[in-house]
């Protein structure tokens, strides 16, 4: 491999000749060989750095044009466009497990953008610190990147995925209107319910989750940029913070604004904790929905068997013909991961000491993994399972009329205690509710038929 010599304030470093990063990135690459190639800084953060560095060059060109010339701004913007498009992803090798402020990732962005900008210009004009990092600090850029990445992940990926599943459930509600089945509480038989009503519970839960996530996004629109090292804004000219936030909003099409209190923005991650809590709520509901569906589809002969779900792949290496609810299992595993990530995000956010939180990379890593995994799992679940759900009407009818809890309909006519006796006798003697009720002398056969209509109980 060929190398070139780069330098920083600590001296010279050998850097692979075909890479755009420079000395500080190389130092981090060598000093933190933890999860290399697996747990690198999320691409969403790299993309967000492209957005904020471009916005910073434009804002600096407005507030200090003597330093950020039109030529420098144009070169930085062009390089940032490539970062935002993912064209330079191979030049961002750093792992999550680095300095807790994300300083090395900020410098990785500065070095790559400076070197790529110089390539575009055909001359060495841009300096990573003096130009690309102008009016900024790692301490305000990384939390800004976190908020930008979080908003984009939630609004552009997770919410559309959930909305698509909601649409599927709405269709299934309409298709299954009028089908009555046995309800279940405590995993035991309960009173009847329409299948459409059961589905509506799933749909409504997801709609509530969408509402909660949208509410949680609002605080994330506030950006730390302009706070620099400790929140005072040292070395950032007046007006830079509002100008750079306006440019980020323009680039992303989202209503980002400068944070009112930069001391809070640098040290507290409560906005991310709040938003991840909404993601966790969605994960909890997806766990419930996926479990309901795989229970209802259990069998095909020895389970509940009340619904059919798509058969996507063989389910066993030894049992021929076995098919498993694999999409449900994937969703539930992702839900568990998200719940675990919530602990990591919470613990990371609790580590704001004095003027800075130094657990930001792990906070960002877990937050973005949750949003990404849940979005992709929901898309897969919808496409490969939910859209193909079909009611097994015959099994639903059989289970409904075999349920002892239909005796609840008799309460107004024979009272709770007599109804309980009826149910217990029917179960003990393995006879129907009608037979038990008549044998006990609580109702005549004709009166039982007159008042007992399971389909009307829903």
Instruction: Tell me how far CA of residue 373 lies from CA of 202, 235, 337, 376, 414, in angstroms.
Output: 20, 39, 9, 5, 53
Q: Which residues of 46-59 are buried (b: 16+ CB within 10 A; e: fewer)?
A: bbbbbbbbbbbbbb
Q: Is 252 a member of any domain?
A: no
Q: Are residues 153 and 282 in the same domain?
A: yes
Residue with tokens 């973005």: 368
Q: Are residues 181 and 54 in the same domain?
A: no
Q: Are residues 146 and 127 in the same domain?
A: no
Among 111, 134, 157, give the residue marking a domain's end.
134
Q: Is 426 a member of any domain?
A: yes
Q: Is 111 a member of any domain?
A: yes
Q: What is the pLDDT of residue 1?
A: 84
Q: Is 236 a member of any domain?
A: no
Q: What is the pLDDT of residue 36?
A: 84
Q: Looking at residue 427, which CATH number applies to its domain?
A: 1.10.40.30
The conformation of residue 437, written as its DSSP 8-state character, comes to H
Q: Are residues 210 and 178 in the same domain?
A: yes
Q: By residue range, what is the domain housing residue 422?
A: 403-457
CA distance between the termini of the chain: 73
Q: What is the pLDDT of residue 37?
A: 84
Predicted structure pTM score:
0.94
Q: Are residues 212 and 289 in the same domain?
A: yes
Q: Total domain count for the chain?
A: 3
Q: Are 167 and 433 in contact (CB under 8 A)?
A: no
pLDDT tens digits for the chain (458 residues)? 899 999 999 999 999 999 999 989 899 999 999 988 889 999 999 999 999 999 999 999 999 999 999 999 999 999 999 999 999 999 999 999 999 999 999 999 999 999 999 999 999 999 999 999 999 999 999 999 999 999 999 999 999 999 999 999 999 999 999 999 999 999 999 999 999 999 999 999 999 999 999 999 999 999 999 999 999 999 999 999 999 999 999 999 999 999 999 999 999 999 999 999 999 999 999 999 999 999 999 999 999 999 999 999 998 999 999 999 999 999 999 999 999 999 999 999 999 999 999 999 999 999 999 999 999 999 999 999 999 999 999 999 999 999 999 999 999 999 999 999 999 999 999 999 999 999 999 999 999 999 999 999 99
Active-site annotation holds for 216? no
Instruction: Tell me how far CA of residue 143 lies from CA of 18, 98, 451, in angstroms.
Output: 30, 15, 66
Q: Are residues 367 and 444 in the same domain?
A: no
Q: Are residues 172 and 303 in the same domain?
A: yes
Choose the catalytic residue: 29, 137, 182, 316: 316
Q: What is the pLDDT of residue 38?
A: 87
Among 116, 134, 152, give the residue marking a domain's end.
134
Q: Are residues 155 and 183 in the same domain?
A: yes
Among 134, 164, 180, give the residue marking a domain's end.
134
Q: Are residues 34 and 170 in the same domain?
A: no
Task: Give the torsion sign (CA, 34, 37, 42, 46).
Answer: positive
Instruction: Tell me how far CA of residue 150 lies from CA of 112, 164, 211, 366, 406, in angstroms.
Output: 23, 20, 16, 11, 49
Q: Looking at residue 302, which CATH number applies to its domain?
A: 1.20.200.10
Q: Are residues 104 and 151 in the same domain?
A: no
Cα-Cα-Cα-Cα dihedral of 223, 361, 345, 165, to 10°?
80
| Residue 2 phi, psi (nearest 5) | -90, 145
Active-site annotation holds for 316? yes
Q: Looking at residue 125, which CATH number applies to its domain?
A: 1.10.275.10
Choose the catalytic residue: 77, 91, 138, 186: 186
Q: Are residues 420 and 335 in the same domain?
A: no
Q: Are residues 16 and 157 in the same domain?
A: no
């Amino acid at each position: 491999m060929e190398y070139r010599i780069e330098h920083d304030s600590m001296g010279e470093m050998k850097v692979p000749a075909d890479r755009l990063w420079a000395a500080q990135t190389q130092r981090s690459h060598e000093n933190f060989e933890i999860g290399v190639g697996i747990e690198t800084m999320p691409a969403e953060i790299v993309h967000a750095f492209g957005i904020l560095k471009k916005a910073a060059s434009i804002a600096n060109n407005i507030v200090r044009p003597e330093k950020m010339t039109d030529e420098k701004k144009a070169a930085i913007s062009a390089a940032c466009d490539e970062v935002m498009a993912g064209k330079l992803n191979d030049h961002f090798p750093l792992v999550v497990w680095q300095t807790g402020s994300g300083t090395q990732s900020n410098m990785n962005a500065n070095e790559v953008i400076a070197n790529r900008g110089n390539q575009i210009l055909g001359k060495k004009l841009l300096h990573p610190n003096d130009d690309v990092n102008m009016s900024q600090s790692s301490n305000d850029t990384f939390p800004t990147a976190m908020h930008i990445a979080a908003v984009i992940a939630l609004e552009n990926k997770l919410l559309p995925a959930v909305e698509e599943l909601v649409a599927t459930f709405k269709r299934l509600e309409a298709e299954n209107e009028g089908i009555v089945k046995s309800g279940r509480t405590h995993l035991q038989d309960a009173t009847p319910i329409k299948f459409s009503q059961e589905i509506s519970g799933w749909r409504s839960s997801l709609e509530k989750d969408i509402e909660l996530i949208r509410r949680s996004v609002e605080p994330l629109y506030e950006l730390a940029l302009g706070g620099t090292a400790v929140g005072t804004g040292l070395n950032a000219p007046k007006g830079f913070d509002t100008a750079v936030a306006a440019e980020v909003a323009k680039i992303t099409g989202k209503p980002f604004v400068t944070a009112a209190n930069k001391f809070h923005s640098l040290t507290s991650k409560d906005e991310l904790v709040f938003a991840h809590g909404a993601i966790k709520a969605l994960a909890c509901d997806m766990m419930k929905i996926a479990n309901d569906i795989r229970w209802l589809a259990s069998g095909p002969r020895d389970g509940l068997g009340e619904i059919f779900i798509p058969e996507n792949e063989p389910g066993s290496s030894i049992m021929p013909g076995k098919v498993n609810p694999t999409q449900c299992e994937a969703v539930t595993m992702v839900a568990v991961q998200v719940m675990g990530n919530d602990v990591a995000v919470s613990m990371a956010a609790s580590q704001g000491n004095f003027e800075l939180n130094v657990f930001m990379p792990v906070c960002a890593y877990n937050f973005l993994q949750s949003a990404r995994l849940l979005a992709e799992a929901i898309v897969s679940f919808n496409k490969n399972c939910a859209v193909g759900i079909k009611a097994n009407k015959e099994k639903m009818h059989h289970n409904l009329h075999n349920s002892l809890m239909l005796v609840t309909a008799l309460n107004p006519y024979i009272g709770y205690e007599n109804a309980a006796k009826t149910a217990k006798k029917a179960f003990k003697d393995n006879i129907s509710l009608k037979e038990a009720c008549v044998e006990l002398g609580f109702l005549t056969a004709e009166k039982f038929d007159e008042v007992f209509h399971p389909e009307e109980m829903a």
